[in-house]
Structure 1
């Protein structure tokens, strides 16, 4: 019987408070120990369940730390990475809704940023050293490096951590390891954000670097439209040009200075704007 997994077990005993199940290979073993049996509570039992028949159940532990079986489908199983909602936070950790009567425990030491009730966070379930099911937000070493993606593929993922020095860590398909490097962060991201990105590079170890932007020649159309919309909204003039500060451009347009220069250069060549000493202006 595997804690934290769904499996088929055999019915070996009926009682007033439920059915006892065991591993299929042990159902005929007369020397079977009671520790090899697990209870399926009465409220989970149906009339068609007979001794010797097999049923699929999920194994977890009840509030008294005893193995218990359920026919309910949990939102997450051991080794899986899913978003779960925080129900409660206290001094020892947090409790997450995973679709079962007993909430899933997230120890305080497994939290990589502050969380509050109602938050939806990305976690993986594991069995701790005390043989208990727990969740962790620390996904970095647990994500797969066997990515099926290649350079320039478009991918979807969830941000699970933002590091001031390195960038935004992403679980692509909630499974594969990736990073949006700091230099590619032209828009603010936070943990929990779902993003669509382009693969910049697949490294030798299988980790991916991502960009939130398309290739330059594709992105130029979108960037030019952003600049035009802001120009029109500002009455036809903006105090930015190719010598403006990169951080100011990033804050105003959510793009790099290089991307901004490409966009205004294109608009200038098409005679849509004028580039002046004090900024850019819509051409008449």
Structure 2
């Protein structure tokens, strides 16, 4: 069985130099070319290089020191570079684009648009492919997170409830609309905190850790909220506490302190009907 990890980084030794690059020791896979333009300056036979291995246009193993946007086993949000009668080809940062056949597309992919895909290695054809059928690749194991654990999420899909996200490149999770106070976009990566892992294994998340919402942090959230609303909001210190909590997830006391903080910095103006940017 090959020790080369296709679609991933490999530590390989330079075995010889040629005019058009260097050859690396691929063991039973034979020597693998690293083209000259990717050879680090000063490299010589015997050196160990960290290279990404994929297939060239003729389906031969080839190495590169370019860094792809994702490797096999990763979820990523990638832009469609071109489309033909077989499927779509996504820009993943390498000379050869990532192929997504039509059968792996949930909707027909269009050139110039971005889609969340999983980078997979097709065992039968030994080819690297992308798949937009994200659910198939999310772990079915129950995550062992505890409430308050910090994770990295990638925004995947907007729904009526909120945003589906991919947690730590492995699990599915959800951020709810009434707890989001910033603009989110598909493919965005950001830290989040676990609220709970439900009995069915689904993970509820929030973008601010419960119990640690500092006034300074919330003042920034409030300022961004007002900007996103076109520079004005009707919510002010006369608004009832329930509405404030439903909108921002903070107490009225925290809200009023943040308003005072922004007002002292002359970033907002207080009006009878609400708050506007200065």
Task: Supply the RMSD in Å over aligned alpha carbons.
Answer: 4.8
Instruction: Write the distance in 2 (CA, Å) between the matches of 1:20 and 1:194.
Output: 37
Query: Which among 11, 30, 36 is matched to residue 8 of structure 1?
Result: 11
Q: Is the 8 A contact 2:17 2:44 kept in 1?
A: no
> Which residue in 2 is equivalent to 1:278?
none
**SS class of match (1:105):** strand
Change over 3 Å in CA distance of 1:66–1:123 after alignment to 2: same
> Which residue in 2 is equivalent to 1:136?
131
Shift of 1:198: 6.2
Query: Which among 33, 36, 41 is matched to residue 35 of structure 2?
Result: 41
Task: Please tell me whether Structure 1 or Structure 2 has the larger radius of gyration of its CA atoms.
Answer: 1
> Which residue in 2 is equivalent to 1:81?
75
Residue 116 (1) aligns with residue 119 (2): no
Residue ranges of structure 1 left out of the alignment (5+ in a row): 27-34, 237-252, 264-280
Normalised TM-score (structure 1): 0.60
> Which residue in 2 is equivalent to 1:170?
165
**Residues 170-249 of structure 1: matches in 2 within 5 Å?**
170-179=165-174, 191-192=186-187, 199-204=194-199, 206-210=201-205
Number of aligned positions between the proteins:
241
Normalised TM-score (structure 2): 0.61
Query: Which among 93, 99, 109 is matched to residue 99 of structure 1?
Result: 93
Shift of 1:127: 0.9
Deviation per CA, 1:9-39: give whole Å up to 9, x if none.
2223333333222246x7xxxxxxxx42211
Q: Is the 8 A contact 2:26 2:32 kept in 1?
A: no
Q: Is the 8 A contact 1:162 1:189 kept in 2?
A: no
Q: Is the 8 A contact 2:75 2:169 kept in 1?
A: yes
Residue ranges of structure 2 left out of the alignment (5+ in a row): 236-243, 253-272
> Which residue in 1 is equivalent to 2:239?
none
